[in-house]
Chains A and B, each alone.
Chain A
Amino acid sequence: MEHIISVLVENKFGVLARVAGLFSARGYNIESLSVAPTLDPTTSMITIVTVGDDRIIEQIMKQLNKVVEVLKVIDLTETHYLDRETALIKVHTKPEHRDEAIRLAEIFRAKIVDSSANTYTIEITGDVDKVEAMINMLKPLGIKDLVRTGRIAISRETTRTASPRREPALLKT
Chain B
Amino acid sequence: MKLTGAEIFCESLRREGVKTIFGLPGGVVLKIFDVLCQQKDLDLVLTRHEQGAAHMAEGYAKATGRAGVVLVTSGPGMTNIVTGLADAYMDSVPLVAFTGQVSTDLIGNDAFQEADNVGISRPCTKHNVLVKDVNELAQTIKEAFYIATSGRPGPVLVDIPKDVSTSKAEFKYPEKVNLRGYNPTVGGNKNQIRQAAEEILKAEKPIIYVGGGAVFSDAGQEICELAEITQIPVTMTLMGLGSFPGNHPLSLGMLGMHGGYWTNMAMHHADLLIAVGARFDDRVTGKLSEFCPEARVVHIDIDPTSIKKTFHAHIPIVGDVKAVLRQLNVILRSLDGNSVQIAAQRKPWIQQIEEWKRAHPLAYKQDDKVIKPQFVIEKLYNLTKHEAIVATDVGQHQMFAAQYFKGSRPRTWLTSGGLGTMGFGFPAAIGAQVAFPDRQVVCITSEGSFQMNLQELVVAAERKLPVKIVLLNNGVHGMVRQWQDLFYEGRYSASILGTLPDFVKLADAYGIPGLRAVRPAEVESVLKDGLKQKGPVLMDIHTDPYENCYPMIPAGGAQHEMMLEDPPELKVAKKGGAHKRKVDEGEGVLPA
Flag if B181 contacts A21 (CB, 8 Å). no
The range of chain B's interface size is: 20 to 34
Flag if B123 contacts A71 (CB, 8 Å). no
Flag if B119 contacts A17 (CB, 8 Å). yes
Considering the chains assembled together, what is the distance between the CA atoms of A17 and B128 in angstroms? Answer: 12
Question: Residues 113-136 of chain B: 1 if any A CB is under 8 Å from the residue's CB, otherwise 0?
Answer: 000001100110011101010000
A47 at the interface (CB under 8 A from B): no
A32 at the interface (CB under 8 A from B): no
Q: How far is the CB of B149 from chain A (nearest CB, A)?
A: 14
Flag if A68 contacts B182 (CB, 8 Å). yes
A95 at the interface (CB under 8 A from B): no
Flag if A68 contacts B147 (CB, 8 Å). yes
B308 at the interface (CB under 8 A from A): yes
Binds B, one of A55-63, A74-82, A119-127, A134-142: A55-63
Considering the chains assembled together, what is the distance between the CA atoms of A67 and B182 in angstroms? Answer: 8
Flag if A59 contacts B118 (CB, 8 Å). no
Q: A14-B118, A17-B122, A18-B122 are in contact. Are A58 and B181 (CB under 8 A)?
A: no
Q: How far is the CB of B312 from chain A (nearest CB, A)?
A: 9
Flag if A10 contacts B180 (CB, 8 Å). yes
Flag if A14 contacts B183 (CB, 8 Å). no
Chain B hits for A62, CB < 8 A: 304-305
Chain B hits for A59, CB < 8 A: 305, 308-309
Flag if B123 contacts A25 (CB, 8 Å). yes
Flag if A66 contacts B179 (CB, 8 Å). no
The range of chain A's interface size is: 20 to 34
Chain B hits for A18, CB < 8 A: 122
Q: A13-B130, A173-B185 are in contact. Are A58 and B308 (CB under 8 A)?
A: yes
Chain A hits for B309, CB < 8 A: 59
Chain A hits for B122, CB < 8 A: 14, 17-18, 21
Q: How far is the CB of B135 from chain A (nearest CB, A)?
A: 15
A166 at the interface (CB under 8 A from B): no
Question: Residues 9-46 of chain A: 1 if any B CB is under 8 Å from the residue's CB, otherwise 0?
Answer: 11001100110010001000000000000000000000
A22's closest neighbor in chain B, by CB? B123
Query: B303 touches which one: A9, A25, A66 (CB < 8 A)?
Result: A66
Considering the chains assembled together, what is the distance between the CA atoms of A25 and B121 in angstroms? Answer: 13
Considering the chains assembled together, what is the distance between the CA atoms of A13 and B132 in angstroms? Answer: 10
Among A10, A14, A21: residue with most chain B CB under 10 A: A14
Q: How far is the CB of A151 from chain B (nearest CB, A)?
A: 24
Chain A hits for B128, CB < 8 A: 14
Chain A residues 43-100 with CB under 8 Å of chain B are: 55, 58-59, 62-63, 65-71
Chain B residues 29-82 with CB under 8 Å of chain A are: none
Chain A hits for B304, CB < 8 A: 62, 65-66
Chain B residues 134-183 with CB under 8 Å of chain A are: 147, 179-183
Flag if A68 contacts B127 (CB, 8 Å). yes
| B→A interface (CB under 8 Å) | 118-119, 122-123, 126-128, 130, 132, 147, 179-183, 185, 303-305, 308-309
Q: Which 4 A-B pairs have the closest CB atoms?
A: A62-B305, A71-B181, A68-B182, A62-B304
A13-B130, A172-B183 are known contacts; what are 17 more A-B pairs with Cβ within 8 Å?
A9-B181, A13-B132, A14-B119, A14-B130, A17-B119, A17-B122, A59-B308, A65-B304, A66-B305, A67-B181, A68-B126, A68-B127, A68-B147, A68-B179, A68-B181, A68-B182, A69-B181
Query: Would you mind naming 10 contact pairs between A and B with Cβ atoms under 8 Å apart?
Result: A10-B181, A14-B122, A17-B122, A21-B122, A55-B308, A58-B308, A59-B308, A63-B305, A68-B181, A173-B183
| A→B interface (CB under 8 Å) | 9-10, 13-14, 17-18, 21, 25, 55, 58-59, 62-63, 65-71, 172-173
